[in-house]
Amino acid sequence: MKRVLILCTGNSCRSQMAEALWQRLAPGDWEAASAGAKPAGYVHPLAVRAMAEIDLDISGNRSKHVDQFKDAAFDLVVTVCDGAKDSCPALAGAKQTCHWPLDDPADATGSEEERFAVFRRVRGEIQDQINEYLSGQEVPRKPPK
Which one of 20, 35, 88, 118 is the catalytic residue?
Answer: 88
Which one of 4, 5, 8, 50 is the catalytic residue?
Answer: 8
Query: Cα dist. 97→37, 93, 100, 124 in Å?
Result: 16, 11, 10, 21
Mark whether 98 is an active-site residue: no
| Backbone phi and psi for residue 118, each to the nearest 5 degrees, phi listed first | -70, -40
Mark whether 13 is an active-site residue: no
Which one of 81, 91, 102, 130 is the catalytic residue?
Answer: 81
Residue 94: other Cβ atoms inside 10 A: 18
Q: Residue 135, class by beta-carbon neighbours within 10 Å (0-12 exposed, 13-18 middle, 19+ buried)? A: exposed
Residues marked active site are found at: 8, 81, 88
